A and B are shown apart, each in its own frame.
Chain A
């Protein structure tokens, strides 16, 4: 069995997950990334994506929004705005929000900042939908 390391997911609404795990993977801004124990200290900004947590050969999947992953000597933490297990995502709401954002984006031609924001929320919705289709 491979070595474990302490991993936690921290969100503004509390600590979402905290346990000894074997492996995690997520999408950093410049590509997918996996972390095993004894990884070099690292700070990676992540995209909204599926977070895979592997513990004793069991895999769990969660959706995480933008944030960053920090690897230190004694633990790994994901500090994100939102986290939710793949089977707990409210797909109806996600789809509704996505549709709203897409609709607004079509009519929004002036405000570049708002455009970027809308695009980001569409990306987030897509990632959440992708995560929700994975079952542990």
Chain B
């Protein structure tokens, strides 16, 4: 049986940890709420962009643009992957799930990984993936401005032929219970994506100055929209995972602290009992 002082110290330690995990849980919860609100605000914008692209495709279906070029016959096709993880740990299986998904989907040969978040960056570099850390941004944050900068950079790489395909790997919060790593194709654009609702009346549109220029502008916005969606989805998932992890850590700390308190009381009782019996024994010896 450990002595009472030792146990007392451990209880103090566990209580301290509990305080921290509880605070982290609350922080994660508030961040999550904020991110959700931000995302909801941006939805009309990106929905609009998509609608307009559908309209353009419908009114000028034979437009030939570099963004639709699949470059299937090109030698050494390079596939780019943007993988989103978090900068820090303490969020359950969030990071390892994304990494596992990425590893099973990325072909080491002919691929470029653009990592977002330290965890995935370190892993990819350590495991010999072709990693490019330059995303065209100074500092990563979940904002439309960052998304715009990354999108611009990626579209440029695509246009220059540095990458021939671009996929985004992120974590999707399907429901409260289910955080699922997922991937979406960003580039090249797929005609099929924009012809979904072709049963509507074909509207005749005028363009100023030309459909190509308008569409080019839209492509940047479209990529940015999907990217931002993925960024927010990942951010929300990360904080949700952290919230859960911290919640169970807090419960666990409570359990441990309870058990330790019991141990402490037992040890204390034992010490008292021992003291009493020693006194009695001593007293008997005197008599």
Residue pair B206, A70 in contact (C-beta under 8 Å) = no
How near does chain A come to B197, taking the closest CB pair, in angstroms? Answer: 15
- Fill in one digit per residue for A7-44: 1 if any B CB lies within 8 Å of its CB, else 0: 00011111100000000000011100100000011111
User: For residue A79, which residues in chain B have a CB less than 8 angstroms away from its CB?
Assistant: 45, 48-49, 52, 221
Residue pair B42, A43 in contact (C-beta under 8 Å) = no
Residue pair B213, A10 in contact (C-beta under 8 Å) = no
**By the criterion of a CB under 8 Å from any partner CB, how many residues of chain B are at the interface?**
27
Residue pair B45, A42 in contact (C-beta under 8 Å) = no
Residue pair B207, A44 in contact (C-beta under 8 Å) = yes
Does A103 lie at the interface of the complex (its beta carbon under 8 Å from any beta carbon of B)?
no
Residue pair B217, A66 in contact (C-beta under 8 Å) = yes
How near does chain B come to A120, taking the closest CB pair, in angstroms? Answer: 11
C-alpha gap A113/B153 in the complex (Å): 10
User: For residue A40, which residues in chain B have a CB less than 8 angstroms away from its CB?
Assistant: 206
Does B104 lie at the interface of the complex (its beta carbon under 8 Å from any beta carbon of A)?
no
C-alpha gap A41/B213 in the complex (Å): 17
Does A81 lie at the interface of the complex (its beta carbon under 8 Å from any beta carbon of B)?
yes
User: For residue B148, which residues in chain A have a CB less than 8 angstroms away from its CB?
Assistant: 81
> Chain B: which residue is nearest A69 at the CB level?
B208
Q: For the complex of A and B, list the 7 residue pairs with the smallest distance between their C-beta atoms, beginning with the closest.
A: A44-B208, A12-B144, A14-B41, A42-B206, A12-B42, A30-B209, A12-B45
20 A/B residue pairs, CB under 8 Å, sorted by A? A10-B45, A10-B48, A12-B46, A12-B144, A14-B41, A14-B42, A30-B208, A33-B208, A42-B207, A43-B55, A43-B206, A44-B207, A45-B217, A66-B217, A70-B48, A72-B203, A77-B48, A79-B48, A81-B148, A113-B156
